[in-house]
A and B are shown apart, each in its own frame.
Chain A
Amino acid sequence: MRSLVAYRMLLHDRASTAGSVLGVVAILFLVGQQLSTMFGLFTYMSVLVDHSDADIWICGKFTDNANSTGQLPTRYVDRINGLAEIEWSEPVITTAGETRRKDGKSEGVVVVGLPAPRLSGGPWAFEQGSIESLLDYDGITVDNRDLELFGNPELGDVFEVNKKRVRINAVTKKITSFGGTLVFTNRTKAREISNLPPGRCSYILVKLKPEVDVDEAIAKIRALLPRAEVFPKDVLSRLTRAYYLINTGIGFSFGFTTLMSSLVGIVIITLTMYTSILNREKDFAVLRALGGRKKDIFVIVLYQAVMIAAVGIFLGFLLLAFFLNGTRDSNLASFVPLWFPFVHAAFTLALCLVGSLFAIRRATRIEPATAFR
């Protein structure tokens, strides 16, 4: 009966209920939008690590993020190839570049040079062409999201990176880096484009044999290469994200806007639910006079908070889904991990309950004697 009373009161007080639901929707959508953008940016930050088909990254000393790995000697590959645990290891070159478009404008790019013929660490999704096209000496990829930046070129178009001739042989699909526009080519072309001296590379990718213990392999590699940083893939991914979160203003910015969005939502919920209780003061007094205890009133208002949260969370997720779907093919970074909807729903429910505390407190303090007034 208490849940029925709660539900009916909500329906009866449409304006207050709508206001409270709006507060929940605000929390869920605004926080969700912020965090989905942040998670999207996370994926950009560590995109090369996350999608590399390697188990281990070997980088220059003091490397703390995958987009700035320093340099190391290519001969390190020979030193570690003798280890039984290793299936293969390949050096990769990354360098900053400047392209000149057909119309004369220039764009900055990050060039990733992949070792032939395996082309490990390379692009994983294509809209046009395939990874094999990078075996062509001049071959380069551009991403479908960056086509406009390059003046909407077509496959086979030729342009320059750092005044070196390249040909668009493939168009990747939604491969974006936090560090800038990503283009992939073969290592030979990348060395030509960069100022990297011969015998140097940016990092080394290592694939272990099946069933090999990663930590043991890493220990052995570290023993062989004391002047390099050796990371398991997931650790480097986490470090890279942490680097940008802490060292740029991103963490604070997202954290602050998430906090503000939550506060706005809580304030809306608090005010609307409290107002609703004031409007229903006589009803609650009557319920108390009829034999309702304080805890029964508490349960009724709590039911209301949960119902409001449920509707608001549903509508909020609907809105968020529309937003994410609408921006799926845009340059806006958006990503929602599998666990996020559940955690976010729980978080929003918790905030709604926090917002309802004042209303609960007010309702449980209504004296039954008020029914006589």
Chain B
Amino acid sequence: MPKPILELEGISRDFSDGKVTQRVLSDVNLAFYAGEFAIVAGPSGSGKTTLLSIMGLILRPSEGRIFIQGQDVTDLPEDKEATLRLENFGFVFQTPTEIPALTIIENILVANAVQGTKLPRGLKEKALTLLGDFGLSEYAYVKPRTLSTGQKQRVAIARALINDPVLVLCDEPTSALDAESSAVVLDTLKQLSRDDRRGVVLVTHDPRVFPYGDRLITLEHGAVVHDSRETVRERAPA
């Protein structure tokens, strides 16, 4: 049995506006593995993005524990969380989030050097290679505004990969794309998940994305109602 990259135990998350407290996630127990393309599906308001934020150490759970490669990271100070995030995760957001003031290659490199560290030798070449892999070499030194949305999402994937993360977290990355661009992005993510050093988790409400995943997790009202991995395990002979 492979060891999980990320484990969530009893994760719950509440949001409060000062008057009313709403439980957005309720007792979520999940584990994510390298070489796996997991899709977390559910209707709007089911807690998908909150789950992704907690997985990426962007939000803290109200209850439960988070383990990254066996290490409990639930109560780490903010600075350490940020460093863990930088070292372990790559993010692809719903809408392109390249910083418009930076060139494409700078947008990729900032994911490594945002904490002020010196760029490692060869990182720029690696960024250019990634851009080349996504057919975007010629755009390395231009500003994001010259790119299409689909191209920007591919840049976002390149940025997510620059630090060799163990987990790539994607929040509805194709929601703003047409069918053709969506297919390109999803194919790319599928390819990435084949690498046995990393896993990919994609959050979506679009059923057309489901076939790309190896695993389907369904959330409803903040709870996991279906996990195809568990179903497969249940069905597998002992």
Contacts and interface: CB of A to CB of B under 8 A. Distances in A.
Interface of A: 1-2, 4-5, 8-9, 11-13, 282-283, 286-296, 299, 367-369, 371-372
B101 A1 contact: no
Contacts of A4: 102, 106
B99 A5 contact: yes
Given A288-B82, A292-B114, A367-B58, 8 more contacts: A2-B116, A5-B101, A283-B99, A289-B56, A290-B86, A371-B97, A372-B49, A372-B171
Interface in B95-111: 97, 99-102, 106, 109-111
23 contacts: A1-B114, A2-B113, A4-B106, A5-B114, A8-B101, A11-B101, A283-B97, A283-B99, A289-B93, A290-B85, A290-B86, A290-B91, A291-B83, A291-B85, A291-B86, A291-B115, A292-B82, A293-B78, A293-B79, A294-B79, A295-B79, A296-B114, A372-B94
Chain A contact residues: over half helix, strand or loop, or mixed?
helix
B25 interface: no
B83 A286 contact: no
Contacts of B49: 372
A163 to B, nearest CB: 76
A1 B119 contact: yes
B74 interface: no
Interface of B: 49, 52-53, 56, 58-59, 78-79, 82-83, 85-87, 91, 93-94, 97, 99-102, 106, 109-111, 113-116, 119, 159, 171
Nearest to B90: A290
A317 B111 CA distance: 38
Nearest to B56: A289
Closest 5 CB pairs of A and B: A291-B86, A1-B113, A12-B101, A8-B101, A292-B114
A2 B58 contact: no
Given A289-B91, A372-B49, A12 B85 contact: no
